[in-house]
Chain A
Amino acid sequence: DTGVSQNPRHKITKRGQNVTFRCDPISEHNRLYWYRQTLGQGPEFLTYFQNEAQLEKSRLLSDRFSAERPKGSFSTLEIQRTEQGDSAMYLCASSPGIAGATDTQYFGPGTRLTVL
């Protein structure tokens, strides 16, 4: 296993289009996280999953953003009706989720979205 993978690595789209990103976590990691990062800022939490259950999400995900992890393995993040302000790096991370142990997250390479 080579770590968290994300596809595509780059996406250019026109305003108003829908886009979907995929994240494959490290195998046997039961927690999966999505973040958004813009230049000069730290990663901004979007949502996280414990297996297939979406346990917490930011207010961003109540509108045009949605995420799924249907079988508790890979996850998808969809952005509907993209806006120029959605241009950012979308990062996925996974963690083992071992009860009682400090849970450390490992990040994928990210998907860079450019909305024209």
Chain B
Amino acid sequence: QKEVEQNSGPLSVPEGAIASLNCTYSDRGSQSFFWYRQYSGKSPELIMFIYSNGDKEDGRFTAQLNKASQYVSLLIRDSQPSDSATYLCAVNRGTGGFKTIFGAGTRLFVKA
């Protein structure tokens, strides 16, 4: 079992729709969770992080965390073609100070 698992996709949604990206992790001691966006040929850029159960909203993005189910998700509302990228889920055993484990990423295509 991989430490952090994501559907590789591609996930295709029409412009203006909600894109839902999912991630599961195996280490129950994980405490902080991150979503990164990576455009082809570029390095990852942070979208948001979450460390408490529930939802966290930032603009068009909402991260959801359920530690009991070891599940974290990212919702993108009003998807735009510029959101087309690979979305990486990352997990850390602390608030920092431990290695961060990345999933393989989910490719998202937003069709105009």
Bound CA–CA A97/B98 (angstroms): 11
Contact of A102 with B99 in the complex, beta carbons under 8 Å: no
Give the size of the chain B interface in residues (CB under 8 angstroms). Answer: 25
Residues of chain B within 8 A of A100, CB atoms compared: 95
Interface string of B36-65 (1 = CB under 8 A from A): 000000111110010100000000000000
Q: What number of residue pairs across chains A and B have CB atoms under 8 A from each other?
A: 62
Bound CA–CA A60/B71 (angstroms): 29
Q: A43 within 8 Å of B by Cβ? A: yes
Nearest CB of A to B30, in Å: 12
Write the chain B residue with the least CB distance to A47. B99
Bound CA–CA A45/B4 (angstroms): 13
Interface residues of B (CB under 8 A from A): 4, 8, 32, 34, 42-46, 49, 51, 88, 90, 92, 95-105
